[in-house]
Each structure stands twice: as C-alpha cells, then as structure tokens.
Structure 1
C-alpha cells in the first residue's frame, strides 16, 4: 500500500466517523426535542419517553427535518401550546449543541 493509499484510507475513516457522530448527534437532538415537547404537553415518565421515541421515528419518515417540525408543531397546537416555527427552530438549535456535547462526551 502506498503512502497515498494510506492517507486516502485515513481520510475515509475520518469521514465515516464524522458522519456517524453527526447521525448520533441528530438522533440525540431529536430525542431531547421529544422530551422537551413532552414536558410542554404535560407528559412525564414513560409517556414522555414514548413520545420522544415517536419524535425520533418521525424524523425518518422523509428526508430533512420538516416532518419532525410539523409533528411537534401539530402536537403542541393540539394541546394549546403556542409556539412559532422560529421559536421551535431556535430550541432545536439549542438542543443540537447539547446533543453534540453529549455525543462527544460519550454520554
């Protein structure tokens, strides 16, 4: 194996690790969002955990996060919780920062 091949293999491994961490961080963010939304909806315990799992699953329905945003917005509106799309996106950004820190820390 040449030096170039070794270097290319190293870059490929790093790319794969980075992508895996991004995936884990997004899944963690979605779980945290689900727990936050469950709290807004008055849920706790097993109901909150089950709702968080629904939110994580909702993100896999279609590419992008629109399906996730629509589900949370619909659920909050149905319970009379007033939140704008922009406010939800700010919360998602905050939770992503928290999720990235947790994934890096291995928690």
Structure 2
C-alpha cells in the first residue's frame, strides 16, 4: 500500500508545482504586457512600473484573460494609441512565451 501512497503524494506534489508555475507565468506575463503597453503610451519608468503592477492586479477581477485585455485595450485607446483587440491578444501570447522562458531560465 505504501507504493500507492507514494505515487499519490508524488502526483499531488507535481500538481501543486504545475499550478504554482502557471500562476507565476501568468503574473510575469501580465507584468511584461503591462510594460509593453506602457512603452506604447510613452510612460516614464516610474509610471511604467506602477502600470505593470496595475495590470497584474487587474487579472484578479475575474477568471481568464478578458479582464486584462479590457484594461489594456481601454487604457491604450484612452491614451490615443491605435490598437485593436487582436493586437492586445497577440501581445499576451508573445509575452506569455517570454514569461515562461524567463522563469525556466531562472530555475
């Protein structure tokens, strides 16, 4: 019975690590896409840092990426940046890959 218990604990540990990694990738991606948007809006370095943190916080409003997309799109359009939904979604995908790469390199 201990072999089964060991396997169960191993699967639970792997699941916990995978969930933690997914959370960290999403948070890093949101920070990176916030920096991308801030550059498009010509924000100062201090404003860029604050904006990137605000984008990370926006992800906690609802499940999925729609809350982040809504924030980015609204802020970019309000700043006079010509951007559409597809461009923001593409930036999210690109920054997700970059976030995963950065986290893999740091481990």
Structure 1 residue 16: Cα displacement: 0.5
What is the SS of the residue equivalent to 1:62? coil
Q: How many residues align?
A: 107
Cα RMSD of the aligned pairs, angstroms, is 1.2
Aligned to 1:13: 13
- State the partner residue of 1:104: 104
**Paired residues for 1:6-45 under 5 Å:** 6-45=6-45
What SS does the corresponding residue of 1:69 show, helix, strand or coil? helix
Residues of 2 paired with 1:24 and 1:44: CA distance? 26
Runs of 5+ consecutive residues of structure 2 not aligned to the other structure:
none
For normalisation by structure 1, the TM-score amounts to 0.95
Query: Which runs of at least 4 in structure 1 moved beyond 4 Å after TM superposition?
Result: none
Tell me how far apart the structure 2 counterparts of residues 39 and 99 of structure 1 sit (CA, whole Å).
Answer: 18
Deviation at 1:79, TM superposition (A): 1.3
**Unaligned residue ranges in structure 1 (runs of 5+):** none
Distance 1:105 1:17 in 2: 16
The structural deviation recorded for 1:44 is 2.6
1:81 and 2:81 aligned? yes
Alignment partner, residue 61 of structure 1: 61
Q: Which TM-score applies when normalising by structure 2?
A: 0.95
1:46 to 2:23 alignment? no
